[in-house]
Structure 1
């Protein structure tokens, strides 16, 4: 019985030695296949040095990021447009043409919105032209029938800048209207209280 146990251990040891030898051969073959000549190494180093001089990163990325976040915060406060969700997906990239699908949602003052569109970028010589296609805007227009017409018109035109400018003005006007209505409602309550003599 004891000799059987030794035999099992010896077989296991022999199996492991074979596996180690096989792995060693694979490693040595891989080492040989990934060997580069001095010339190839020098070319790689030169190309990396060229890239590093062309694309040097700013000395303080955190400061630049803080500055960009500050600018974004100012713009959101100034326009009343707050983005809550954003995603981008590359649909097609061939030669000088790129199509990306963008999805975003947010609020403009108290008006929530969602939109999805494709951005077609075409690079020619030294310029890039971009066009918005397949624009879809989802908004609860509710009591504002004019807003529904405006959204449909913006979808047809695909002009995002015009859409956001107009939406910002409209939403700001709605906020002023609500404040004015609250003020008159409060005054009407005081006036009614005074007339009835309560």
Structure 2
């Protein structure tokens, strides 16, 4: 009986070691996959994955995200001060994505000083970044800037459009201030 119990114990020990080895083998790819997924992602996505895996708390993730949002808001405020363009909305929609190319559609709305605008364009990212299908809508009936906007649409010159929009808006604002300063009140002799 003792001999049979010892054989059973050895058999169970061998089975236990085999099962433990199998468990270790199954855990290993999971750990490697987790690590490779964390390496592939950066920023917020990596923080979210670390939080889900328990390697980073949700509080730490939220703290990092808040700091990132604050930094982005400060950057946006600085950009607005520097270029005079204030965006009120911005949407991005991915139209096509594969291994060699990504095509996204952007819709922007905002103003430059007191001149409102809406811009839609597609951005293709293959070997470089290319702007296509540019559509511009301005809140003005001024033929000079409207004709320039039409040429910018035809040539897909987004940066040139924004530079000219700023120059035009600044000139328009200067004229408005000048004429407001010298405005003559009707019925009052000058």
Q: TM-score, with normalisation over the residues of structure 2?
A: 0.70
* Higher alpha-carbon Rg: 1
Corresponding residue number in structure 1 for 2:109: 105
1:53–1:87 distance in 2 versus 1, CA, 3 Å: closer
Alpha-carbon displacement from aligned partner over 1:123-172 (angstroms, at most 9, x marks no partner)? xxxxx411010101111331x21101110111012121111111111111
Corresponding residue number in structure 1 for 2:85: 81
Corresponding residue number in structure 2 for 1:52: 38
Alpha-carbon displacement from aligned partner over 1:26-62 (angstroms, at most 9, x marks no partner)? xxxxxxxxxx964243112123124435646598332
Corresponding residue number in structure 1 for 2:28: 42
Per-residue deviation, 1:194: 5.9
1:53–1:140 distance in 2 versus 1, CA, 3 Å: closer
Corresponding residue number in structure 1 for 2:125: 121
Q: CA RMSD in A?
A: 2.5
Query: How far apart in 1 are the matches of 2:104 and 2:188?
Result: 60
2:71 equivalent to 1:67: yes
1:183 to 181, 184, 189: 181
1:95 alignment partner, SS class: coil
1:60 alignment partner, SS class: helix
Q: Unaligned regions of 5+ residues in structure 1, if any?
A: 1-35, 123-127
Runs of 4+ off more than 2 Å: 36-41, 49-65, 192-195
Per-residue deviation, 1:109: 1.0
2:140 alignment partner, SS class: coil
Q: How do 1:115-194 and structure 2 match up within 5 A?
A: 115-122=119-126, 128-142=127-141, 144-185=142-183, 188-189=184-185, 193=188
Alpha-carbon displacement from aligned partner over 1:76-128 (angstroms, at most 9, x marks no partner)? 12222111122111111122111111111111111111111111110xxxxx4
Corresponding residue number in structure 1 for 2:7: none
1:159–1:177 distance in 2 versus 1, CA, 3 Å: same
Greater alpha carbon shift after TM alignment, 39-48 vs 80-89: 39-48
1:52–1:91 distance in 2 versus 1, CA, 3 Å: closer
Give the aligned length: 151
